[in-house]
C-alpha cells in the first residue's frame, strides 16, 4: 500500500499569501502605508507605537491593529489613548497573526481616514516571521535585554524583517551586551537591513525611525 502525503502547511501558507495580497491591494487603494511590528514578548512594540503616535499625530492619521493571544486588550487601549484608531484581535491562543485575521480587522477600520496602519503582532520571536499579513514592511524590534546572541539563535525573524529596531539602549551600561557581535550576526543574515538603535524610554534615536516612517507614508500618498 502506498501512502498519500498532503502538504497541508503549504496549502495554508498559499491561502494566507492570497489573502495577504488582497489586504495589500485594499491598503494600496486607500493610500495607507502599513507595517507589521514583530518581536519577542516585551521588547517594546507598544512602547514604540506610543512614541510613534506622539511624534506623528495629528499630521499623520494612524490606525493600530493589535494581536494578542487573549481578550486582554490593554495594548490596543494604550494605542487608542495615544490617538490611534485601534482594533484588538484575540487570536484564541494562536502564537501569530494571520492574513485572514487582519482582513477582518481592516473591515472594522475606515481606511479612508488613515495614512498609516501599524499592526502589532503577537509577542513571539519565531512564529510571526512565516506569515505575510499584507503590510508593506516587516519591522522587527529586538531589545538589548534579550542578549547579543539572539540573531544566531533565532535567525528566522531577522531574515524576514525589512527593518530592525534595537530597543532599550538606555540599559546598555548595565548589561553585558556586545553590540559589534550582535550586529555582525544581524548582517550575516540580512546584509542590507536598516537598523535603528533606540530607547522608547528616553526617546534617544526615535527621530531617525520617525523620519524613515514619515518618508514611507509620504511616498505611499503620492503613488
Ligand atoms: N528601560 C526601557 N524599558 C522599556 C523600553 N521600551 C519599553 N520598555 C519597557 O518594557 C516593557 C514592555 O514594553 P511593551 O511596549 O509593553 O512591550 P511589547 O513588545 O508591546 O510587549 P507584548 O505586547 O506583551 O509582547 C514595559 O515595562 C516598558 O516600559 C526602553 O526603551 N527602555
Ligand atoms: Mg504590546
Report which ligand 1 atom has the smallest distance to the Cα of 202.
31
Q: What is the pLDDT of residue 1?
A: 79
> What is the reported pTM?
0.95
One digit per residue, pLDDT tens: the chain, 223 residues?
A: 788 776 777 788 899 999 999 999 999 999 999 999 999 999 999 999 999 999 999 999 999 999 999 999 999 999 999 999 999 999 999 999 999 999 999 999 999 999 999 999 999 999 999 999 999 999 999 999 999 999 999 999 999 999 999 999 999 999 999 999 999 999 999 999 999 999 999 999 999 999 999 999 999 877 7
Distance of CA 41 to the CA centre of its chain: 12
Residue 112 Cα to ligand 1 midpoint, Å, equals 31
Residue 1 Cα to ligand 2 midpoint, Å, equals 51
DSSP state of 96: S
d(CA 132, CA 125): 15
Report which ligand 1 atom has the smallest distance to the Cα of 41.
25
d(CA 137, CA 76): 20
Contact in structure between 115 and 60 (CB atoms under 8 Å): yes
Nearest residue (by CA) to ligand 1, atom 1, is: 168
End-to-end CA distance of the chain: 57
How many alpha carbons fall within 13 Å on the CB side of residue 178?
A: 8
- Dihedral through CA 69, CA 196, CA 29, CA 84, nearest 10? 60
Around Cβ 155, how many Cβ atoms within 10 Å?
17
Query: Which of 39, 47, 64 to mutate for ligand 1's pocket (most ligand atoms within 8 Å of CB)?
Result: 47
Instruction: Report which bound ligand comes closest to the CA of 86.
Output: 2
Who's near 3: CB < 8 A, 6+ residues apart? none
Q: What is the pLDDT of residue 193?
A: 96
Residue 41 Cα to ligand 2 midpoint, Å, equals 7
Ligand 1, residues at Cβ distance < 6 Å: 39, 41-47, 75, 123, 167-168, 170-171, 199-201
Report which ligand 1 atom has the smallest distance to the Cα of 168.
31
Q: What is the pLDDT of residue 6?
A: 67
Homologous superfamily assigned to 8-222: P-loop containing nucleotide triphosphate hydrolases (3.40.50.300)
Amino acid at each position: 500500500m502506498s501512502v498519500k502525503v498532503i502538504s497541508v502547511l503549504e496549502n495554508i501558507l498559499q491561502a494566507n499569501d492570497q489573502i495577504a495580497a488582497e489586504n495589500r491591494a485594499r491598503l494600496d487603494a486607500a493610500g495607507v502605508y502599513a507595517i507589521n511590528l514583530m518581536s519577542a514578548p516585551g521588547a517594546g512594540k507598544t512602547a514604540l507605537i506610543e512614541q510613534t503616535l506622539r511624534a506623528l499625530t495629528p499630521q499623520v492619521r494612524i490606525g493600530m491593529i493589535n494581536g494578542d493571544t487573549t481578550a486582554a486588550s490593554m495594548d490596543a487601549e494604550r494605542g487608542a489613548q495615544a490617538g490611534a484608531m485601534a482594533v484588538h484581535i484575540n487570536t484564541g491562543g494562536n502564537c501569530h497573526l494571520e492574513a485572514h485575521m487582519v482582513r477582518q480587522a481592516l473591515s472594522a477600520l475606515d481606511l479612508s481616514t488613515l495614512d498609516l496602519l501599524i499592526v502589532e503582532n503577537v509577542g513571539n520571536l519565531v512564529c510571526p516571521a512565516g506569515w505575510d499579513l499584507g503590510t508593506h514592511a516587516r519591522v522587527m524590534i529586538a531589545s538589548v535585554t534579550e542578549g547579543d546572541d539572539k540573531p544566531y539563535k533565532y535567525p528566522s525573524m531577522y531574515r524576514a524583517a525589512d527593518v530592525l529596531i534595537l530597543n532599550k539602549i538606555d540599559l546598555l551600561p548595565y548589561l553585558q551586551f556586545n553590540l559589534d557581535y550582535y550586529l555582525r550576526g544581524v548582517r550575516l543574515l540580512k546584509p542590507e537591513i536598516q537598523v535603528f538603535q533606540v530607547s522608547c524610554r528616553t526617546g534617544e534615536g526615535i527621530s531617525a525611525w520617525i523620519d524613515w516612517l514619515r518618508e514611507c507614508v509620504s511616498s505611499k500618498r503620492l503613488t
